[in-house]
Amino acid sequence: MVVAQFLNWIDTAKVSERAAAAAALARAYLRDDIPFEDRCAADAALTFLLDDPSWKVRQALAEALSVSHHAPAQVIAALAADQPNVAEIVLARSPVLNDTDLIDRIASGGEKAQSAIATRPRLSMAVAAAMAEVGTAEACRQMLLNEGALIAGLSYRRLAERHGDDGGVREAMLADPRLPPDCRHTLLMKVGEALKDSPLVIALMGAARAGRITRDACLKASITLVDGTSPAEQGALVEHLRIRGDLTPGFILRAVALGKIDFFGAVLVSLTGQASQRVRPLLAAGRNGAISALFRVAGLPRSMDTVLLTALAIWREVANGKRVAGAQEVTWLMLKAINAAPGQSGPDEDCREVATMLKAIHLEELRANARGHALAIAAA
């Protein structure tokens, strides 16, 4: 009878009164001690209120029902499809909405609806995949900031493809510790492309110099990325670099010179097709002849054999505690092995390109170490 009186009264009530009454009715419906008949009547009344001409009434319903598992499904479904300031409330909170409901709203809703879903306390991989596939850049950025979102590696890759050129999405992805290393590399390349094509950068240093500097910066960033890649993910990163055409002899030379031997092992596994159980023991303790044969299978140029074998021998000694050395010393000894160190007569013709790349790496290490020494003196 109370509900009947409510329905008779609501036609003449003011908007503010209807909104307050709607909220009170919704809270009453959610109580455990309400009789079955009254609950059925309240259910009907709440459904009736969905047709109220004022969004404030429907918003009051959304606020009252949005956090309950016991809210009427038909009411929540209607509110989720309402105008944004109503729908956002239930899309962001309601536990009644399942993955299918959320995916439907991602596909049919606008940016505000998608962003509301992106901020839910928990998003399944299926919902995150739908968001990565059709979500706007801002909605995807919100999802990336949500630690409760379970995002699959494939979804990260789709996000990089669709929104990697968006600064906000790119920043959120690079700050996400869950980001797979191949996606991180893709985004680093996009940052480089953005800088290279920037009118300001071109005006300051010219297109050719800007392209050269950004290429060098991307190469260094890619090498640094190896340090943050777990052994289990190194194979995927190698494949990504190979498919992109970034797994060049110069990249491999730099990785070995800087002591990324585990990564080098993953590179050889990929390039030769041989098992890791064969490749890694060879790098750790194999004879030079066997390792050179492995290089041939991998397609590495013969001109790199001497410097790579020299670096491997030094890093073995470092790993076994027989020597203390860093990249600066290793690169100098690599240059010395091909007669390209300062004071030597110079490398053979076939090693000149390798020597040029090594000299650049050696000078970078000299500068980095000198800078670190200067900072240490200043801090003392």
Residue 253 resides in a domain: yes
Residue 1 has pLDDT above 50, yes or no: no
* CA–CA separation, 37 and 271 (whole Å): 72
Q: Do 279 and 304 reside in the same domain of the chain? A: yes
% the chain with pLDDT above 90: 42
Name the domain boundary from 225, 244, 263: 244
Tell which residue, 22, 138, 31, 140, has the closest CA to residue 86: 22
| The pair of three-digit structure tokens given for residue 238, joined into one six-digit string | 């190698």
pLDDT in tens, 156-178: 988 988 998 888 998 899 889 88
Tell which residue, 51, 271, 25, has the closest CA to residue 17: 25
Q: Do 329 and 254 reside in the same domain of the chain? A: yes
8 A C-beta contact, residue 218 and residue 241: no
* pTM: predicted TM-score of the whole model, two decimal places: 0.64
Q: Do 215 and 262 reside in the same domain of the chain? A: no
Tell which residue, 154, 126, 159, 158, has the closest CA to residue 142: 159
Residue 115 resides in a domain: no
8 A C-beta contact, residue 65 and residue 94: yes
Q: Do 239 and 348 reside in the same domain of the chain? A: no
Q: Is 108 exposed, middle or buried (0-12, 13-18, 19+ CB in 10 A)?
A: exposed
Q: Do 319 and 335 reside in the same domain of the chain? A: yes
pLDDT in tens, 266-281: 999 989 989 889 999 9
Tell which residue, 54, 106, 100, 52, has the closest CA to residue 75: 52
The parent domain of residue 224 ranges over 180-244
Name the domain boundary from 244, 261, 276: 244
Q: Do 325 and 287 reside in the same domain of the chain? A: yes
Name the domain boundary from 244, 262, 285: 244
Residue 7 resides in a domain: no
pLDDT in tens, 77-122: 999 999 999 999 999 999 999 999 999 999 988 899 999 999 999 9
Q: Do 252 and 380 reside in the same domain of the chain? A: yes
* CA–CA separation, 17 and 12 (whole Å): 10
Distance of CA 189 to the CA centre of its chain: 13
Residue 155 resides in a domain: no
Residue 347 resides in a domain: yes
Q: How high is the pLDDT of residue 252?
A: 92
In sequence order, what DSSP letters do the residues of 136-188 get, joined into one string? -HHHHHHHHH-TTB---HHHHHHHHHHHTTSHHHHHHHHT-TT--HHHHHHHH
% the chain with pLDDT above 70: 89
* CA–CA separation, 122 and 283 (whole Å): 45
Q: What are phi and psi of 347, to 5 degrees?
A: -75, 165
Q: Do 270 and 355 reside in the same domain of the chain? A: yes
Number of domains in the chain: 2
8 A C-beta contact, residue 50 and residue 77: no
Residue 259 resides in a domain: yes
Q: Do 343 and 363 reside in the same domain of the chain? A: yes
8 A C-beta contact, residue 181 and residue 229: yes
